[in-house]
Amino acid sequence: MDAQRFSSLHPDHPLEIGEFKWSISDSSTITCKPKNKSRTLLWNCQAKGFYGVKSFLPQWNTSFGNNCTEYTHHFEATKVNLMTTSKDLHVEVVRAFYIDLADPKNRLIQNAQDSAKLKLDGEEIWISKKMLSFYSPYFTILFKRN
């Protein structure tokens, strides 16, 4: 997948890698968010890399997603100079999953006969009938009738 390295990145000026925006805030929080802020997105981004403050470069890895957009790295106080002035982050996106459920042809749907349109909290989304049936007896019965 994609790999990037950036230094002294400010939260107001995120770096774009693939479908995601990356930023560093304070001295230890890495943030990953999708470029598109739609409520109908289903996403996950598994990443790893190195985060450096001065010359200390610990390795990190985590998974970002719909409910988790930040990762905070806790440094060992004995290894970090408290007067941190430079930050360096190397990010490698290991695996990414990015689907807009508002798209009737999203990749979760195999064909037109497999699609079901739902309206949830004012948002229209398209879901696979097979997937809905697998997780819900209600939808199994509903789709068998059609």
pLDDT at 48: 86
pTM higher than the cut 0.85:
no
Distance CA 11, CA 54 (A): 19
Distance CA 5, CA 44 (A): 20
* Helix residue ranges, H only, the chain: 129-135, 137-145
Q: In tens digits, what is the pLDDT along the chain, a chain of 146 residues? A: 566 665 555 556 788 888 998 887 766 788 899 998 899 999 999 988 876 655 556 677 888 898 888 888 766 655 555 434 456 677 888 899 999 999 999 999 999 899 999 999 999 999 999 999 999 999 999 998 76
